[in-house]
Structure 1
Amino acid sequence: MRRLSAILGALLLATPAVAAPQSPQAVAQAITQAAQAIAPPGASLTLGPVAGAQYMQACTLPLSVSISGTAPYEQAAAHCPSPAWTLYVTVTVAQTENVVIAARPIAAGQTLGRGDITLAREPVSLYAGRQVYYDPAQLLGASAIMSVSAGGILNPADIAEPVMVKSGQTVAVQVISGGVTLSLNAVATETGRIGDTILFTNPSSGRRFSAQITATGPVLNLQP
């Protein structure tokens, strides 16, 4: 009997203890810290399932996390050095920015006033790859090319820049030559918006020349 008890005791001592499971919360915390370190300011993060961590043995050393992919959809690899295992978790990065939107429905051909547009914080994913506006003031006086519903994000395809110069109008044209800037009164022969290059006539000489319309007025840049 004593011999049997001794054998049983030896077998029990030889049986390895069941390893503790890894905490999913610890994995989620490590991934969140790593993702936040490279996320744009103001971005919010959403992690995919981390429940798979409970089937891993508890890591005895600090976890290391690497992030791959491109926002808004990235992947985190949480690696445990001892015992060695790696858990892959999806990370969704929701970045937002203040952009100009329609404060109320805008009709095609309508001239934009202060009550028509406003700033709102919108997810970048809604307009990724498109040019948008960040300052309502730059659109005051612009015309809507097409109808825009309330809350719609405005982009250059929707808007015609404000008319800065009308045909027949006498305006001051900035003439830049090297480091010298002069002002010349000239008559516009065309109507122009910001970014347009139109013809002007010098009333003194009758000479015609082209100048680009900018936010501060027509500019003629003479190359040295």
Structure 2
Amino acid sequence: MKTRWSIFLSVLAVFAFGPLTAAPANAEAVTLSREQLLASLSRDVAGHFNLEGSLELDLIRAWAAPTRTARQWDVVVTDYPNTATSAMLLRCRLVADGEALPDITLMLRASLWRDVWSTREPLTIGATFDPALLETRRVDLFREREALPTAVGDRSYIFSRGVAAGHILTWRDISRRPLVRKGQVVDVSATEGMLVVTMKAVAMENGAQGDTVTVRNPDSRKDFAALVVDENRVQVRF
């Protein structure tokens, strides 16, 4: 039975140092598993190439685990391929409890899964991009490299060509909606410091917001470049 003094010391310890917990047991020394290896490589490869989506790697050849064991394994990629593709060759160094083992070369099969846009019904050229008319599909971007991710697309885009139903959209299927069209009269503002001059000009080409287009002064017939800033509005800076 605890004395009042021992109970007091226990309560004091809790308030001073927090709840008393047993120290964690030492980690067990194990060999490096195939799953641990692939998980580490997936993180490194995705980070190195700044990949968006879910990267899945698999070994093309059977995994021969190291004969030694360690409490902590680290996998260091020492040589990456130039680009991330569906088949990659990686040079790696395994580090067991801080001790580097001889480098190994791994042949990997890769998939990069991401949600992309797919058409629910036929779409016509020039139609405004409307997510409500589309559906999502999960694909491997290493196989469908031109597929349009769902992170891209709003009403500032139009369809640059007709698209059939059930089609996975690609970057070639859409373009920015032009705010300036060839042959239109546009408002031009030219700024230099606090001075602002406005005039009219004729657009010589289509342009979306942020594009640089050629416009023509209808009086002098001289062409100059201007930045598209809004509907039928361009800007020149000196």
Relative to 1, partners in 2 of residues 1:117 and 1:192: Cα closer, same or farther, differing over 3 Å? farther
> Counterpart of 2:54 in structure 1: which amino acid?
A
Residue aligned with 1:145, SS: coil
User: Identity percentage over the alignment?
Assistant: 11
Match of 2:64 among 47, 52, 55: 52
> Counterpart of 1:77 in structure 2: which amino acid?
C
| 1:158 alignment partner in structure 2 | 173
1:44-81 CA distance string (max 9 Å, x none): 3323155422xx53335754423233334243635467
* Bigger proportion of residues as helix: 1
1:157-184 CA distance string (max 9 Å, x none): 434543323456443223233x447362
Residue aligned with 1:164, SS: coil
Q: CA deviation at 1:23?
A: 4.3
Residue aligned with 2:56, SS: strand
| 2:153 alignment partner in structure 1 | 136
Match of 1:66 among 76, 80, 89: 76
8 Å contact kept, 1:190–1:199: yes
> Counterpart of 1:44 in structure 2: which amino acid?
L
8 Å contact kept, 1:76–1:91: no
Which runs of 5 or more residues in structure 2 are unaligned?
1-29
Cα root mean square deviation, aligned? 4.3
Relative to 1, partners in 2 of residues 1:193 and 1:84: Cα closer, same or farther, differing over 3 Å? closer
Structure of larger gyration radius = 1
Match of 1:214 among 228, 231, 235: 228
> Counterpart of 1:52 in structure 2: which amino acid?
A
| 2:188 alignment partner in structure 1 | 173
Match of 2:196 among 179, 182, 200: 182
Q: Does 1:104 align with 2:120?
A: yes
| 2:27 alignment partner in structure 1 | none
1:97-156 CA distance string (max 9 Å, x none): 565x3433545634234144567665442465x69675322543x24235455342331x
Relative to 1, partners in 2 of residues 1:131 and 1:84: Cα closer, same or farther, differing over 3 Å? closer
8 Å contact kept, 2:113–2:141: yes
8 Å contact kept, 1:175–1:183: yes
Instruction: Give, in whole Å, the separation in 2 of the partners of 1:118 and 1:183.
Output: 47
1:179-212 CA distance string (max 9 Å, x none): 447362414254523236233446xxx3344343
Relative to 1, partners in 2 of residues 1:124 and 1:193: Cα closer, same or farther, differing over 3 Å? same
Residue aligned with 2:125, SS: coil
8 Å contact kept, 1:211–1:219: no
Q: CA deviation at 1:96?
A: 4.7
How many matched pairs? Answer: 191
Residue aligned with 1:39, SS: helix
8 Å contact kept, 2:186–2:201: yes
Residue aligned with 1:165, SS: coil
Instruction: Give, in whole Å, the separation in 2 of the partners of 1:42 and 1:143.
Output: 25
